Amino acid sequence: MFLDNKKIICVAILLLNINVLADENHNNIGFSMDNGELKPINSNGHGPIDAMGEHMHKEGKWMASYHFQHMSMEGNRIGTTEVSPEFIVTNVANRFPPPATLRVVPTKMTMNMHMFGAMYAPADWLTLMFMGMYMEKSMDHITFQGASGTTRRGTFTTTSSGIGDTKISGIFRISENNMHKMHLNAGISLPTGDTDKRDTILTPNGARNNVVLPYSMQLGSGTFDLLPGITYSGKIDKISWGGQYIGTFRIGDHKGYSLGDIHEATSWLSYQPQPSISVSTRLAYKNEGKIDGIDGRISLPVQTADPDKYGGDTINLYFGLNLAGQKGVLRGHRFTLEVGIPIHQDLNGPQMETDYIITAGWQFAW
């Protein structure tokens, strides 16, 4: 699917929300010499930790990284309106009747992602990037009794964990000078994440059944996904900035369905009061489509089983802290933290809303 005109304008505003500035001193994380002495390493030499593939390396350089991301979701909304579990089970139709309305409502979800990355530059104009992932998901639910009404039968929690999808990308330089940098991102996501996770649920009649979990509790897309993008960055004195667009386009389907395409645009601004520390702010827009098709194994009276109850538009605001080691064993190591909060959520609901996102990371280049 493609963005409509309104969404294209929103993406453009995010990418162009950058002052046109200049820079003649840009240092990536790593070792550098100035007349035989080690130069200070800029803490804002890279973009925010959660903007993937936003920088390149010089020929022959490597970088290893680890990111930990925690996402918390609680409550539900339809479009931009928050709704209660009782509203959902009395007003939202069940795609798989009987019963006529939904009878199970998710109330809270947490997701932890451990991301392990490596980058290598075989040439100045090309940097290769690898990202593997281990995921942990947990979702709390309320089950309502019988085929109608608002009597609560009980609660239950489902969990899933394991390896997620693997991403391999190439970053290709378009232009670079003392003022600005721009490059293309071109990658593919490999379907290494499990899509057959099962757990036990509480049904409206009180039974405990072991079922294939809904789409949001699986660990991968099940499809090969194209990851095209474009990134711009700049820097002057103690200020750096940038903008990026990354798309996710599903190739084919898996078990009768494919997750929705994703369009993500972000822009950031960073200030470095001294070489070892910088602070940043970032605005991120995401448009995700509904699931196309259906997995015939998933037919439960819960919103997460309905492919139409996925996707929507979100805008998040992030604040980041970056620390760059300058001396001894810490030199060349970068430690980062970024916290995000939603400022706009328009969801194909009922769907769980995001409360906050925290990402912490470590990078080391040599």
Average pLDDT over every residue of 56-71 = 95
Instruction: Indicate the pairing of strand 262-274 with strand 239-251.
Output: antiparallel
Least confidently predicted of 30-44, 102-116, 167-181, 290-304: 30-44
Query: pTM of the predicted model, to two decimals?
Result: 0.87
Is the separation of the CB atoms in 324 and 42 below 8 Å? yes
**C-alpha–C-alpha distance, residues 164 and 190, integer Å:** 9
Is the separation of the CB atoms in 44 and 23 below 8 Å? no
Q: For residue 9, what is the domain's CATH number?
A: 2.40.128.130
Please tell me the predicted confidence (pLDDT) of residue 310.
98
Average pLDDT over every residue of 165-171 = 98
Residue that the structure tokens 């960073």 belong to: 270
Average pLDDT over every residue of 15-35 = 38
Task: Provide the token pair at 299.
Answer: 């037919």
| pLDDT of 265 strictly over 50 | yes
pLDDT bin (cut points 50, 70, 90) of residue 330 is confident
The whole domain housing 63 covers 5-365
pLDDT bin (cut points 50, 70, 90) of residue 44 is low
**C-alpha–C-alpha distance, residues 40 and 273, integer Å:** 13
Average confidence score pLDDT of the chain: 90
**Which residues have C-beta within 8 Å of that of residue 153, sequence separation ≥ 6?**
143, 144, 145, 202, 204, 206
Please tell me the predicted confidence (pLDDT) of residue 341.
97
Task: Provide the token pair at 215.
Answer: 């789409």
| pLDDT of 47 strictly over 50 | yes
**C-alpha–C-alpha distance, residues 60 and 221, integer Å:** 33
Domain count, the chain: 1
Please tell me the predicted confidence (pLDDT) of residue 53.
87
Judge residue 6's burial from the number of C-beta atoms within 10 Å of its C-beta, 0-12 exposed, 13-18 middle, 19 or more buried: exposed
| Beta partners for residue 313, in sequence order | 287, 346
Is the separation of the CB atoms in 42 and 272 below 8 Å? yes
Please tell me the predicted confidence (pLDDT) of residue 23.
32
